[in-house]
Structure 1
């Protein structure tokens, strides 16, 4: 049987083995009174277990390996964190194991003791050829378990996103307006150009843009110039003007840029998502919302308020040009689409709220994130379609964001035994 070590951890955690006449490898009677707490950090796998070995009660930790010799391979005897291990649980007892002081470590060998239906369930799950290993069996999983895992994956995804926001907050000296601005530009990169957008935001402080008020042409010039996208200002009258404006403000504020045209990706990107179009949209949004973070917080009354933040119309020039002086074959969108606005609410607004809740230690802001996601339609991407194909469609953005987190953090990395769904499918028949 081929299995990962986490399978044995699951077997121990749920006691999926025959405990009748349980003994250590040296013949001492063994009684499990408390399995311990599963440790997901450095150190033994289960902490604060309670066992009875022979006639004595033991309190300490449990370490689990496929082979007993793995203890030596991992040099646990040299690590003080393992001094309090009271039981070594292994599938194969190939060598005796000792503490640093030479005392033997009681060992439980699971070979021949794991319930057969648990092994078969594990093999059925892991031998599946699909990208979502549980796809063939998902229909048998109770809805409450699927929802619970979806919620867990969503929370983990929100934690990861909000951590990025809080890292930006640290860099800005705890300035939430500057943080919201940088996070907005990062999100407007829509993955393809997100890194370059963040570099742009870091090189052009929001305070400078706020000073320009509603003068969107100046904002456009500053953003495009700092982005290194006004390298050829002789295209037409508009870009000549934008370059002239940028040169003036660059000297005025002593701006320095590390970006140039080649830092931006155009290949495989639709014209409507070109950096020029996104930056033109950003200029309009900033002109309309000079107190960006305050506006985002104030808009918490409802979904409609958020849509107002992003309801803008770019200049006719950018509806007709993909690049300076290069006309588009077809008219480009004047405003952000409904789907784009929904994505911005999902990826821009809710992580800001969540991070703000962590900053204030206020769970209400976090709860608002989940409530808002349930009001937004589900995304439609290859991950969501994969779940729909196995009979698990997403009803809203709460579901779709949870599915994205579930796929990336569990399905893609085959962490089935860390997933409540996989754990459910591993369960044996009732005994």
Structure 2
């Protein structure tokens, strides 16, 4: 049988082994009173366990390995964190193991003790060739367990995004307006150009843009100039004006740009998502919402209020041009689509709320995030279609964001044994 160490951790966690006449490798009777808390950080695998070995009760940690000799390979005897280990659980007891002081560590060997149903279920799961390994049996899992795992994946996804926001916050000296501005630019990159968008925002402080008020052309000039997307054009009235405005404000504010056209991705990007169009839209949004973070918080009671933030109409020039001096073959949309606005609510607003809740230590913001996501329609992408193909669907962004997190963090990396769905598929048949 081929398996990883996490399989043994699951076997211990759910006690999927024969516990009749349980003994250590030295013949001492063993009774598991409390398995301990699963530790996902450095140190022993299970903390604060309670065991009875022989006639004595022990309180301490449990470490799990495929082979007993892994203890020495990982140099645990030299690590103080492993000093309180009271039981070494192994599949194969190839060598006796001792603490640094020479005292033997009680060992439980699981070879021959793991329930046969559990082994068969595990092999059936990992041998599946489908992208989603549990696709054949996912409907045998209770809906409440699937929903619980979906919620867990969603929270982890929000934690990751909010962690990036809090990193930005630290760089801005805890300025939430500047942080929101930078995060908005990052999100407007829509993955393909997220990093250069963030660099653009970092190179042009929000306070400079706020000083321009609602002067959209000045904002556009500053942003396109800092993005390295303005050139000396002879025959284009707009770009000549924008370049002239940028040159003036660049000298006035001592701006330094580190971006050029080569930093932006155009290949495989639809014209409506070109950096020129997105930056022009951002100029409109900034002109309309001079205090972005305050506006986002004030609109927290209504999805419609959020959508108003992004309800803008591009100038005719950007409807008719895919890039400066390059006319579009057809008139492009002047406003953000409903789908784009929904994505901004999902990826811009919700993580920002979540990060703010973490910052002020207010759990209510977490619930507000869930409520907002339940108001937004589900996304339509290749991941959501994969789950739909196996018959698991949802109607809102709570489901779709949870599924995206589940796929990227668990399914794609085959972390089935860390997933509540996979763990439940290992359950032995009740007799």
Moved over 6 A (4+): none
- Structure 2 unaligned blocks of 5 or more: none
Assess if the C-alpha contact under 8 Å between 1:8 and 1:64 holds in 2.
yes
Assess if the C-alpha contact under 8 Å between 1:32 and 1:51 holds in 2.
yes
- Residues in 2 aligned to 1:37 and 1:331: alpha-carbon distance in whole angstroms: 60
- Residues in 1 aligned to 2:206 and 2:90: alpha-carbon distance in whole angstroms: 58
Q: CA RMSD in A?
A: 0.8
Assess if the C-alpha contact under 8 Å between 1:225 and 1:243 holds in 2.
yes
Shift of 1:231: 2.8
Which residue is 2:101 aligned to? 101
Assess if the C-alpha contact under 8 Å between 1:231 and 1:261 holds in 2.
no
Question: Per-residue CA shift, 1:267-320, capped at 9, x if unaligned?
Answer: 010000000000010010001001111111111121111111111000000001
- Residues in 1 aligned to 2:230 and 2:68: alpha-carbon distance in whole angstroms: 65
Which residue is 1:185 aligned to? 185
Which residue is 1:401 aligned to? 401
- SS across alignment from 2:300: helix
Question: Per-residue CA shift, 1:152-200, capped at 9, x if unaligned?
Answer: 1101111111111111111111111111100000000000000000000
TM-score by length of 1: 0.99
Which residue is 1:380 aligned to? 380
Assess if the C-alpha contact under 8 Å between 1:233 and 1:239 holds in 2.
yes
Shift of 1:235: 4.8
Which residue is 2:300 aligned to? 300
Q: Does residue 37 of the first structure (1) align with residue 40 of the second (2)?
A: no
- Residues in 2 aligned to 1:136 and 1:47: alpha-carbon distance in whole angstroms: 35
- Residues in 2 aligned to 1:37 and 1:156: alpha-carbon distance in whole angstroms: 19
Which residue is 1:356 aligned to? 356
Which residue is 1:237 aligned to? 237
Which residue is 1:46 aligned to? 46
- Residues in 1 aligned to 2:331 and 2:205: alpha-carbon distance in whole angstroms: 32
Question: Per-residue CA shift, 1:44-78, capped at 9, x if unaligned?
Answer: 11111111111222111111000111111111111
- Residues in 1 aligned to 2:205 and 2:315: alpha-carbon distance in whole angstroms: 24
Which residue is 2:391 aligned to? 391
Aligned residues: 431
Question: Per-residue CA shift, 1:370-399, capped at 9, x if unaligned?
Answer: 101000000111111110011001211000
- Residues in 2 aligned to 1:365 and 1:49: alpha-carbon distance in whole angstroms: 35
Which residue is 1:111 aligned to? 111
Which residue is 2:263 aligned to? 263
- SS across alignment from 2:40: coil
- Structure 1 unaligned blocks of 5 or more: none
- Residues in 2 aligned to 1:368 and 1:43: alpha-carbon distance in whole angstroms: 35
Which residue is 1:13 aligned to? 13
Trace 1:16-415 onto structure 2 (pairs within 5 A): 16-415=16-415
